[in-house]
Amino acid sequence: MDRQRLTLSALTLTTLTVFPLAVACGNETGSTSVGAGTRSSVTGVHWTVDSVTVKGTSRKAPTGANVEIGDDGRVQGNYGCNHFYATADFKGDRLDLGETQATEMACEEGAMKFEDTLARTLADGALTAEVGKNALTLTTDDGDRVHLTKEQDAPLHGTKWTITALGDADVAESLPKGAKAYLTVDAKGRLTGRLGCNDVTAKATVRDGHITLGAPATTRMMCDRSLMNTEKTLLGLFRSTVAYELDHRTLALTSTNGTRVTAVAER
């Protein structure tokens, strides 16, 4: 499997208020608390955020929201729009995060509202962690909960990659409302997808961290200006070789002129 890590240099970071993420004993049947003996059940796992429940109201997570705690204590994740980074220090059944940094991308309103909810919930003091089969629940003292599911890495080939943001190495913006853009590369070297308005097919050759895209064949529909502008940007990737970075279920494509496309694997 191709696997390359996204670099911090490709993201604009801002320092956030330090918040502790602490986990205490759970008492539900079939679950375990996060202490020294069960640390391995939580670390080294990519946890996809499914939803957050606050004051009895559940909000479904946008595609790409996740938390990952490395065996080395490094924490990275995505709130629903922006990536965040921290360090973690385990002390018994508690997990304390150091100073947290996050990117500053602008996304559509729904994703930003969920992001604010998730960030506030994770920062709400001690969290009770309950680990089940491929599932993790973090609960605040007030009963608010973050629901997460263990997910495996997505392969480059055969995965439907939903495009979520366009930009460059410093700034990225989410796609305009109503845009449906995705790409799939099969093992036979054929790319299919949608560019925001029209469907596309092209030859795709994958080699050494790069994808060489041939001339695109597209349908001929007309959409509103914002969708057509998105499509124009994506068409700029074709007839050229783009670098790709694959990190778990996130794919980044970077053209020779610096255009950066971010996509996530469809669940």
In angstroms, the CA 88 to CA 74 distance is: 6
pLDDT score of 23: 39
pLDDT of 167-176, one tens digit each?
A: 887 777 888 8
Residue 263: the pLDDT is 94
Is the model's pLDDT at 6 over the cut of 70? Answer: no
Q: How many CB atoms lie within 10 A of CB 16?
A: 16
- Residues 254 and 67: their CA atoms lie apart, in Å, by 24
> Comparing 85 with 21, which gets the higher pLDDT?
85
More reliable by pLDDT, 41 or 240:
240
pLDDT at 140: 83
The string of pLDDT tens digits covering residues 103-135 is 888 788 888 999 999 988 887 766 777 888 889
Res. 54: pLDDT tops 80: yes
Residue 168 has what pLDDT? Answer: 83
The predicted model scores a pTM of 0.58
